[in-house]
Amino acid sequence: MKAEGQRILKELVLVGGGHSHIAILKEFGMRPVLGLRITLISEYGGTPYSGMLPGLIAGHYNYEEVHIDLVRLCRLAGAQFYRTRVEGLDLGGKRVLCEGRPPVRFDLISINNGSTPRTKGIAGAAKYSIPVKPIMQFLRGWDRILEAAIKREGDSYRVTVIGGGAGGVEVTLATQFCLYNELKKRNITSSQIEFHLVTESDVLLPTHNPRVQEKYTRILDDRKVVVHLQHRVVKVEADALFCEPGAIILSDAIILATDGAPSEWLRESGLTTDHQGFIVVDECLRSPSHPFVFAAGDAASVREHPRPKSGVFAVRQGPPLGENIRLALADLPSKPFVPQRHFLSLISTGDQYAVASRGRWALEGKIIWKIKDWIDRRWMKQYRELPAMSEDEGDSRIAERLIPNSDTLPEEGKETIRCGGCGSKVGSVVLNKVLNRVDIIERKDILLGLKSSDDAAALKVPEGMIQVQSVDSFPVFLNDPYMFGKIAANHCLGDLFAMGAEPQSAQVLVTVDPGSDSAMEEQLFQVMSGAISLLEEHRVALIGGHTSEGSPLGIGLVVNGLAEEGSLLRKGGMRPGDQLIMTKPLGTGTIFAADMRARAKSSWIEEAVRSMVRSNGPAIDCFKRHGASASSDVTGFGLVGHLIEMLHASGTGAKMNLKAVTFFSGAVETAKAGILSTLQPQNRKLEASLKFKGERDERYELLFDPQTSGGLLASVPLKHAEACLGDLKSVGYLDAAVIGEVVVREKEEPCLEIRGL
């Protein structure tokens, strides 16, 4: 959380968007800590509320009703969101190791990444069974089971669930309810479908009281679920389970709902873990071996107060975890937290019926389900209906000054009065550290590059070639500096590709948020790593740059390309009859305007980011192969703006079909809500140059939406258009579309005619 003029002094990294961390994010969003940067690392943009998982499987809720949107929550909290899987910890270097992206530095770290069903001791489980967590993976596997069962059209089909705890019985009954429902919808009999539940325990629900166990034994019996007690599964194959002592259970589908196991990398991290590999924490939720590490939820094993793994405890640990992190930031002693021993469990039976369990007490009925449903929905509401936020609110909330001030900080974190000379240049130590950590490719045509100590770079332009150059820069719009750097570099290369040039080299200008040396190094490292990884994909050498301190984070790139003389594809070559092909959907401006206000869904951001890092390189190759007469990349002026530029340069007119234009998921919705980029009204002034026929809705507004790292717009001869479109799709531009045609320009008439819906 960074207030205006505030330097980043500490980094808090949250691993996993579990139940405790979502509470922290919301609370830190409402009561920010001055000088603290929070980063959440999670492998999915949404995290499920465990209590509603069986209802999701049974079909009573949809995906969004049971998932908390981590992207929106992070926006509200002013936190960074890195969507990736954590693979390890480097505790000595205080770094989190992530899949497919550079390590992430921290001062304090909190781990709340849950658990997944235990596969250890069950040979073949990883290959032949479907674990109930992570839920996205389970839902995909469950779809395959449904499809296979439906295909049998009433012939026998066996589903077996391994695990007799609350999760296991709930999943058995929820999957049965769902499958029977799907068969009924298709008029297929379910009489040949069998459900089996296998557990090594001698009772069902061993952590609950005997009355609950009896009720469940009866309910499973009524629902014709075959229960195998005292069967320890030791091996599974595609169609069978092998149990000790000696039984074989044949099965077409195997679901794993065993007790939770921790991530393997926790055990290897060097943290003190218990015999199962969960992180040992004290009653303040702090690792005794590494006090800068906190942990909560399933991932943690509280030394003083062992409790079963349950979402209830993860939820309850959220507030004390947040408070103890605040205290640790202020170098104050932590406060112990004693979790309650007994709590109310409401265990569902799939058919909107549930059993309540607490201590020695049990109750069942439809009303219990209704109460459960009400409690769960009410809990979700606090995260689904987040307070509205204006674009700049993140910095204006009253922030707590918790981190010790300059007098008590170690040397590197001390606030110093910064001079603005040399463009507030970032110190050479920080810069050199970053440059030493990134790999920069070398090329023979770079005579003097980053590795030389000269004042400027020197490039060789081979005989018969010309140099093509472009520049662009951006303030940060995405709360992930690595991906931001990647998108910015891709956007800048887009200008070279649009002209048919081959990128060769780049210079980069970065403005990093003021902070301690380590905070600035981290941000510079992340943003540069993103940009360099993209440049590397295209064998582009980084030959120089400049860094400065300032707010907000920003990056600009000067890019150089090479092209054969006379080969450039320019805006002015369009010919009447050519077809207009656009390679990517529109809508990044409106979606990121919504994201700034914490109103964009994580799935929209994911889709837009995927497209924004997709290179325009393969697209220009397709266009060239199919004889394109002109091309441009669609960026800040929006589709209409760039098309009109092309039409003016070509002296032609064009007819465009609004129905044919594609938009990112969420773009029409955010535009409909009146959320548009601040640039859009300026772009819309081009309306004077067009004639509109027919009906219009918010899609019309999006024709003026400024794009970041947008697609290419090209004119292709009619006879090649279909083949060109097929080629574009085959290399990954699945949304490429013919959106109109080039026509003869009529005097006195606007150059562009748009047909509406």
Give burial (CB, 10 Å; 0-12/13-18/19+) of 430. buried
- Using the minimum distance from each CB to ligand FAD, give the nearer residue, 51 or 481: 51
Among 80, 110, 113, 615, binds ligand FAD (CB under 6 A): 113
Choose the binding region for ligand FAD from 291-299, 330-338, 557-565, 591-599 (rule: CB under 6 A). Answer: 291-299
Whole-angstrom distance, CA of residue 590 vs CA of residue 599: 11
Among 42, 529, 631, 670, binds ligand FAD (CB under 6 A): 42
CB of 41 to ligand FAD, least distance (A): 5
- Using the minimum distance from each CB to ligand FAD, give the nearer residue, 132 or 661: 132
Q: Is the peptide bond before 54 cis (omega within 30 degrees of 0)?
A: no
Should residue 85 be labelled a site residue for ligand FAD when binding is judged by CB under 6 A? yes
Contacts of 381 (CB under 8 A, 6+ apart): none
Whole-angstrom distance, CA of residue 576 vs CA of residue 193: 63
Residue with tokens 């509401």: 381
Residue with tokens 């405890």: 313
Residues 306, 128 contacting (CB under 8 angstroms): no
Q: Strands of 157-162's sheet, edge to edge? A: 130-131, 253-256, 157-162, 193-198, 225-228
CB of 334 to ligand FAD, least distance (A): 20
Which residues between 116 and 145 bind ligand FAD (CB under 6 A)? 132-134
Q: Count interface residues toward ligand FAD (CB under 6 A).
A: 35
Should residue 80 be labelled a site residue for ligand FAD when binding is judged by CB under 6 A? no
Should residue 669 be labelled a site residue for ligand FAD when binding is judged by CB under 6 A? no
CB of 311 to ligand FAD, least distance (A): 3
Q: CA distances (Å), 706 to each of 75, 589, 643, 700, 702, in order? A: 22, 5, 13, 13, 8
Give burial (CB, 10 Å; 0-12/13-18/19+) of 685. exposed
- Using the minimum distance from each CB to ligand FAD, give the nearer residue, 117 or 587: 117
The neighbour count for residue 387, using CB atoms within 10 Å, is 10
738: tokens are 């013919």
By C-alpha distance, which of 103, 39, 684, 63 is closest to 380? 63
Which residues between 226 and 265 bind ligand FAD (CB under 6 A)? 257, 263
590: tokens are 């409106």
Which residues between 376 and 435 bind ligand FAD (CB under 6 A)? none
CB of 206 to ligand FAD, least distance (A): 15
623: tokens are 């266009």
- Using the minimum distance from each CB to ligand FAD, give the nearer residue, 481 or 585: 481
Among 1, 8, 10, 18, binds ligand FAD (CB under 6 A): 18
Should residue 298 be labelled a site residue for ligand FAD when binding is judged by CB under 6 A? yes
394: tokens are 């993140």
Give burial (CB, 10 Å; 0-12/13-18/19+) of 203. middle
222: tokens are 């009524």
According to DSSP, the residues that pair with 89 across neighbouring strands are 96
Should residue 269 be labelled a site residue for ligand FAD when binding is judged by CB under 6 A? no
Q: CA distances (Å), 385 to each of 68, 76, 381, 400, in order? A: 10, 11, 6, 25
Which residues between 54 and 73 bind ligand FAD (CB under 6 A)? 54
CB of 74 to ligand FAD, least distance (A): 13
Catalytic residue among 422, 492, 622, 724: 422
456: tokens are 């400027």
Whole-angstrom distance, CA of residue 38 vs CA of residue 9: 11
CB of 247 to ligand FAD, least distance (A): 25
CB of 347 to ligand FAD, least distance (A): 7
Coil, helix or strand for 100? coil
Angle between helices 481-498 and 602-612 (to 10 degrees): 40
284 is catalytic: no
By C-alpha distance, which of 456, 677, 482, 702 is closest to 560? 456
CB of 299 to ligand FAD, least distance (A): 6
Choose the binding region for ligand FAD from 305-313, 425-433, 485-493, 662-670 (rule: CB under 6 A). Answer: 305-313
CB of 258 to ligand FAD, least distance (A): 10
CB of 365 to ligand FAD, least distance (A): 17
Choose the binding region for ligand FAD from 107-115, 597-605, 680-688, 695-703 (rule: CB under 6 A). Answer: 107-115
- Using the minimum distance from each CB to ligand FAD, give the nearer residue, 132 or 598: 132
- Using the minimum distance from each CB to ligand FAD, give the nearer residue, 262 or 561: 262
Should residue 50 be labelled a site residue for ligand FAD when binding is judged by CB under 6 A? yes
Whole-angstrom distance, CA of residue 40 vs CA of residue 37: 10
Choose the binding region for ligand FAD from 11-19, 402-410, 495-503, 659-667 (rule: CB under 6 A). Answer: 11-19
724: tokens are 């060109």
Choose the binding region for ligand FAD from 49-57, 422-430, 628-636, 666-674 (rule: CB under 6 A). Answer: 49-57
Residue with tokens 């830190």: 28
Should residue 589 be labelled a site residue for ligand FAD when binding is judged by CB under 6 A? no
By C-alpha distance, which of 110, 119, 192, 113 is closest to 151? 192
Choose the binding region for ligand FAD from 50-58, 454-462, 611-619, 637-645 (rule: CB under 6 A). Answer: 50-58
- Using the minimum distance from each CB to ligand FAD, give the nearer residue, 362 or 524: 362
Whole-angstrom distance, CA of residue 101 vs CA of residue 552: 23
CB of 378 to ligand FAD, least distance (A): 15
- Using the minimum distance from each CB to ligand FAD, give the nearer residue, 87 or 698: 87
Whole-angstrom distance, CA of residue 490 vs CA of residue 535: 8
Whole-angstrom distance, CA of residue 310 vs CA of residue 332: 30
- Using the minimum distance from each CB to ligand FAD, give the nearer residue, 171 or 197: 171
- Using the minimum distance from each CB to ligand FAD, give the nearer residue, 134 or 550: 134
- Using the minimum distance from each CB to ligand FAD, give the nearer residue, 171 or 661: 171
Contact mark string toward ligand FAD, 167..206, x via CB under 6 A:
x--xx-----------------------------------
Which residues between 307 and 326 bind ligand FAD (CB under 6 A)? 309-312, 314
CB of 736 to ligand FAD, least distance (A): 33
- Using the minimum distance from each CB to ligand FAD, give the nearer residue, 114 or 350: 114
Contacts of 349 (CB under 8 A, 6+ apart): 170, 173, 219, 223, 355, 369
Q: CA distances (Å), 189 to each of 183, 219, 252, in order? A: 7, 21, 17
Q: Which residues are catalytic?
A: 422
Question: Which residues make up the interface to ligand FAD (CB under 6 A)?
Answer: 16-20, 41-44, 47, 50-51, 53-54, 85-86, 112-114, 132-134, 167, 170-171, 257, 263, 297-299, 309-312, 314
